[in-house]
Copies of this chain bind each other. A is one copy, B any other.
Amino acid sequence: MAPEFDAHRSTDPSSPIWNPGEVPHSRTPVCVLGLGLIGGSILRALAEAGRPAYGWNRSPSGADAAATAGFDASSDLEATLARAAAGHVVVVAVPVPALDDVLGAVARHAPGAWLTDAVSVKGDVAARVEAAGLTSRYAGGHPMAGTAESGWSATAADLFTDATWVVTADDGTPAEAWAEAAAVGLDCGAVIVPAGSVEHDAAVARISHSVHLLAEAAAVTAELDPAASRLALSLAAGSFRDVTRVAGTAPALVRAMCEGNRAALLDALDDTIAQLNAARTELADHGTVADLVERGHAARGDYESITRTPFVPTLDGEGWQRRLRERGQAGGIVTTLPEGATPATRAW
A231 touches B254 (CB 8 A): no
Residues 260-276 of A contacting B (Cβ, < 8 Å): 262, 265-273, 275-276
**Neighbour of A220 across the interface among B218, B243, B250, B299, CB < 8 A:** B299
| Residues of chain B lying within 8 A (CB to CB) of residue A163 | 237
Q: Which residue of B lies closest to A330 (CB)?
A: B230
Q: Which residue of B lies closest to A223 (CB)?
A: B299
Query: Chain A contact residues: over half helix, strand or loop, or mixed?
Result: helix
Within 8 Å of chain B (Cβ to Cβ): is A345? no
| Residues of chain B lying within 8 A (CB to CB) of residue A243 | 211, 214-215, 242-243, 245-246
B207 touches A289 (CB 8 A): no
For the complex, give the distance between the alpha carbons of A206 and B210 in Å.
Answer: 19
Q: Closest CB of chain B to A213's CB: distance in Å?
A: 6
Within 8 Å of chain B (Cβ to Cβ): is A233? yes
| Residues of chain B lying within 8 A (CB to CB) of residue A272 | 217-218, 221, 276
**Neighbour of A288 across the interface among B216, B255, B301, CB < 8 A:** B255
For the complex, give the distance between the alpha carbons of A251 and B298 in Å.
Answer: 10
B265 touches A269 (CB 8 A): no
Within 8 Å of chain B (Cβ to Cβ): is A287? yes
Residues 289-323 of A contacting B (Cβ, < 8 Å): 289-290, 292-297, 299-304, 306, 308
**Interface bracket on A:** 35 or more
B208 touches A271 (CB 8 A): no
| Residues of chain B lying within 8 A (CB to CB) of residue A238 | 246
Within 8 Å of chain B (Cβ to Cβ): is A69? no
**Neighbour of A277 across the interface among B273, B300, B301, CB < 8 A:** B273
Q: Closest CB of chain B to A233's CB: distance in Å?
A: 5
Q: Closest CB of chain B to A165's CB: distance in Å?
A: 10
A207 touches B220 (CB 8 A): no
For the complex, give the distance between the alpha carbons of A219 and B48 in Å.
Answer: 37
Q: Closest CB of chain B to A95's CB: distance in Å?
A: 16
B255 touches A216 (CB 8 A): no
A234 touches B328 (CB 8 A): yes
Interface-side segment among A56-64, A85-93, A97-105, A196-204:
A196-204
Q: Closest CB of chain B to A307's CB: distance in Å?
A: 9
Q: Give 4 closest A-B pairs by Cβ, nearest first.
A: A216-B296, A219-B299, A247-B300, A203-B232
Q: A207-B236, A207-B240, A222-B299 are in contact. List 9 more A-B contacts (CB 8 A).
A: A164-B237, A211-B239, A214-B214, A216-B292, A219-B300, A220-B292, A221-B268, A247-B297, A272-B276
Give the interface of A toward B (CB within 8 A). 144-145, 163-164, 166, 193, 195, 198-200, 202-204, 206-208, 210-225, 227-228, 230-251, 254-255, 258-259, 262, 265-273, 275-277, 279-280, 283-284, 287-290, 292-297, 299-304, 306, 308, 328-331, 333
8 pairs across A/B with beta carbons < 8 Å? A164-B234, A218-B272, A223-B299, A230-B331, A233-B306, A234-B308, A248-B304, A266-B283
